[in-house]
Structure 1
Amino acid sequence: MTADLPSPLRLRRATLSLITLLGGVSLAVIPAATVSISSRLFSRPEQGVIAVAVMVATFVGQLTFAVVLESRLSSAATERRVVFPLWLAGLAIVAALVIALNSTNPVVLCIGLPLLIAALEVGRGVSVAERLDVREIWASVMVGLGALGGVVAAFTGQTWALIPLVAGIAAATLLRCLPVAHRASRPEPAVMGWVVADTAITGVIYPLLNTMILALLGPGDAVLFTAIATVSGLLAIPLNFMRLRLLKAHSQLDIVVSAGAVLAAVVVLVVLERTGVLGFIFGGVWTSSAAILPLVLACCWRAASLPTTIPFAALRRMGEVRLLTGLRAVVSAMAFALAAVGLWLHSLSAVFIGLLLAELASAVVYELARRRLLRAAEQVAVAGR
């Protein structure tokens, strides 16, 4: 699709794609900033509960994303247009206000996080899918500045450190819900059901796994797991960006841009770990453990999603939501089983190895399914001649 564009236009589109992709750092920053701030405001048992709450909030955000965005982008019989719903924006702003007024209460934080993360997921997803690049750049700056202000305040021992964090989210939410010229398409009910089921089956693994880590290994390992998963989530930014763009149409340019960003993100994370920056951000939980090996394995797990996303998006564009849900259920069960083996070994590294093996297997499964469907379509076309 992009290969047919003139070279200057392709360069401009690639530049805008890269800027919007980089803006996704703001989405990954919020869970990391929450863990960092919590490590300086709350006790270790409270930190463990908040670490699980971050995973639960991410899961809720994924479900909301599936309902609002992915179901519409997967409805092949519609125009596949999306907007940021005002009801979600309102709930997120109320949640931000309540947290700001109770910034030292971990229970309030745990309850409000799902609404904030859901607003961030959906708001950014709409901007990426509809190419609202300028709006998204400013929204990302607001989120990033809020997170930075909160982390700096926490470093200096301020008990109100969560206030800048939620203020940045609220400001970005207000910007992202400004009116647009188009209306949201109505998703096909059957497609929505399968997409939400797919997301629920896949996403529930990580909060469940971290709950088991909290119960069996203690709050320290639960916080470390969340910290590593959150930091390695930097790689998920270009991968999610690529998935959104590929759900609209296949684009070799977006694949190349995203792959380059994944490689750059791995290098950045390794440098940050070796120079002690991550230990400084996350405090004693990170520095008291040998985090480099599980971090590298987590990065490999995230990067393995690159070959998975391409056939996955192709199957979604083909309308194979039912097939994908079945395949994802099998892969998710495999991922949980392999990660549980790592948990049984009392090793976070083994947990990430299990997740990596499952991701590699899913890439093979999706690609085989895509090729089988293409062969079947070709046979039908030949028979119809």
Structure 2
Amino acid sequence: MTEPMPGPIRMRRAAMSLITLLGGISLAVIPAATVSISSRLFTVEEQGVLAVAVLVATFAGQLTFAVVVESRLSSAATERRVVFPLWLAAISVLTALVLAIIPPNAIALAIGLPILIAALEVGRGVSVAERLDRREIAASVAVGLGALIGVLAGFAEQQWALIPLVAGIAVATCVRCLPVTHRASRPEPAVMGWVVADTAITGAIYPLLNTMILAFLGSADAVLFTSISTVSGLLAIPLNFMRLRLLKEHSRLDIVVSGASVLAAVVALLVLEFTGVFAFVFGEAWTESATLVPLLLACAWRAASLATTIPFAALRRAGEVRLVTGLRAAVSVLTFGLAALGLAAQSLSAVFLGLLVAELASAVVYEVARRRRLARGIRAAAAAAAAGDTSTDAAAVEPGGDA
């Protein structure tokens, strides 16, 4: 059992965790900045295509993250170490260079976005999981500044508005791929397969859903869905941070920091909504629709992931990849079904309500599975003790797993 850390060390770790967590804003602003800049450079039809492309790029980033990072963090028989692959960094920098050189082109941007966002997802994931806090702070500043300059240039209707955005991503990528002293663990092939399948099943829902919105409700609603999803994605920053840390080890400190950050993020989003900042950033797509109720439902949907992430990470840490994949597949079917019912009602509020209900149901499913797994571990430990076997698997009953 690990000894508790002294108070000052604990406070320093909490402070660094909070700073690194806040750095995740830089990742969340890239889709928002892309939508904002696109609203000034491209036609409504091109904006609709790019709205879908942003969610497709996020899905591609999640898949790459699953292969490079999460499969290793879920391989319980290894040291679970991760690094930022140089090949991904090189492709990302080259893509950023091409997008910076050519004139603004919606198709080229749609093709390049998956590569850029994949590099951002993997780079940040590695930095958070390995606690490379200082380089992550520098990378986050580069991404945030690039996005800010790009959005401001977009407001001024400058044709070069995309250049700072992609340049910031390129700089952050170079920082995140600096050498480290450890090597990446080799993921267990079976674990990688299950993790990637899990991510593919769950991640495909949102680009597919937005494609249906584009087809049935039109470009304006597709852009608005992406805009609200992106804005509420601010809440996903502490949630993803907590998920990464919990995949390495259970930490009540990181749970508390993340939970408080989710609450602060909700307050910040409401302030931005009431002060008209989102209407200014996203333009007509935001101003021509009622956005408060969909935004509140989207925030509730994201915040509900707090209850889902803790048992999910506990199951993943314990190596239950098959069980988690099966549960996620069932939950994904439920999520898509409820969201599609909302789409049938021709209401984005109903779509987000369906996503919220599905997330709450997911939390119950994962917690029941975690408790059953914990009970099995306790029974196995008791049986081993009764038989005089002292070599009981330490993972059977995990400290902190019932938090």
TM-score (norm 2): 0.95
- Structure 2 CA distance for aligned equivalents of residues 63 and 310 of structure 1: 21
Give the corresponding residue for 1:314.
314
% identical equivalent positions: 75
Aligned-residue offset at 1:103: 3.9
**Residues 115-166 of structure 1: per-residue CA shift (max 9 Å, x gap):** 0000000000000000000000000000000000100000001011000000
Which stretches in structure 2 are left out of the alignment for 5+ residues?
A: 387-403
Q: Does 2:202 correspond to 1:202? A: yes
Structure 1 stretch displaced more, 39-48 or 2-11? 2-11
Per the alignment, residue 239 of structure 1 pairs with: 239
For structure 1, the residue ranges without an aligned partner over 5 or more in a row are: none
Q: 2:167 matched to which residue of 1?
A: 167
Query: Hey, what's the Cα distance between the residues in 2 that align with 1:283 and 1:24?
Result: 25
Q: Distance in 1 between matches of 2:102 and 2:147?
A: 18
Aligned residue for 1:29? 29
**Match for 2:337: what amino acid?**
A
What CA distance in whole angstroms lies between the structure 1 residues aligned with 2:382 and 2:148? 59
- Matched with 1:219 is 219
For residue 154 of structure 1, what is the aligned residue in structure 2? 154
Q: Which residue of the partner structure matches residue 44 of structure 2?
A: 44
Residue 17 of structure 2 is matched in structure 1 by: 17
Q: Secondary structure at the match of 1:4?
A: coil
- Equivalent in the alignment of 2:397: none
Report if the CA contact (8 A) 1:246-1:313 is conserved: yes
Aligned to 1:186: 186
1:51–1:226 contact (8 Å) kept in structure 2? yes
2:116 is aligned with 1:116: yes
Q: CA deviation at 1:380?
A: 1.7
Find the aligned partners of 2:50 and 2:20 in 1 and give their Cα distance: 29
Query: Residue by residue, what CA displacement relative to the aligned partner does 1:151-192 show, whole Å, maximum 9, x if unpaired?
Result: 000000101100000000000001100100000000000000
Aligned 1:122-141 pairs, distance under 5 A: 122-141=122-141
Alignment partner, residue 56 of structure 2: 56
Distance in 1, matches of 2:170 and 2:377, equals 48
Counterparts in 2 of 1:179 and 1:377: CA distance versus 1, 3 Å: same
Letter in 2 for 1:185: S
Aligned to 2:285: 285
SS of the residue 2:261 aligns to? helix
The match for 1:263 is: 263
Are 2:54 and 1:85 aligned? no
Name the CA distance, whole Å, in 2 between partners of 1:102 and 1:270. 38
Question: 8 Å contact 1:217–1:346 — kept in the other structure?
Answer: yes
**SS of the counterpart of 1:153?**
helix
Task: String of CA shifts for 1:185-206, please: whole Å, max 9, x gaps.
Answer: 0000000000000000000000
Give the aligned residue type for 2:354: G
- Displacement of 1:3 in angstroms is 7.6
| 1:374 and 2:374 are equivalent in the alignment | yes
- 1:279-328 deviations in whole A, cap 9, x for unaligned? 00000110100001000000000000001000000000110000000000
Using the TM superposition, give the Cα deviation of residue 102 of structure 1 relative to its aligned residue in structure 2, in angstroms: 2.1
Does the CA contact (< 8 Å) of 1:2 and 1:251 recur in 2?
Answer: no
What is the distance in 1 between the residues matched to 2:134 and 2:373? 39
Secondary structure at the counterpart of residue 272 of structure 1: helix
Q: CA deviation at 1:2?
A: 8.5
Give the deviation of 1:376 after TM superposition: 1.2
Residue 393 (structure 2) aligns with: none
Kindly tell me: are residues 295 and 63 of structure 1, through their superposed partners in 2, closer, same or farther at Cα, counting changes over 3 Å?
same
Quote the Cα distance in structure 1 between the aligned partners of 2:36 and 2:15: 32
Structure 2 residue identity aligned to 1:33: A
Which residue in 1 is equivalent to 2:360?
A: 360
Shift of 1:367: 0.4
* Structure-1 separation of matches of 2:2 and 2:379: 29
The answer for the alignment partner of 2:299 in structure 1 is 299
Q: How does 1:62-73 map to 2 (within 5 A)?
A: 62-73=62-73
* TM-score, normalised relative to structure 1: 0.99
Aligned to 1:348: 348
1:229-248 C-alpha deviation (Å, 9 max, x unpaired): 00000000000000000000
Measure, in 1, the Cα distance between the counterparts of 2:113 and 2:254.
31
Give, in angstroms, the shift of residue 98 of structure 1. Answer: 1.2
* Paired amino acid for 1:106: A
Aligned AA (1:105): N
CA, structure 1 residues 94+323, in 2 after alignment: closer, same or farther (shift >3 Å)? same
Deviation per residue, 1:254-293 (Å, 9 max, x gap): 0000000000000000010010000000001101000010
Q: How far, CA to CA, are the matches of 2:45 and 2:101 in structure 1?
A: 23
| TM-fit CA distance, 1:101 | 1.6
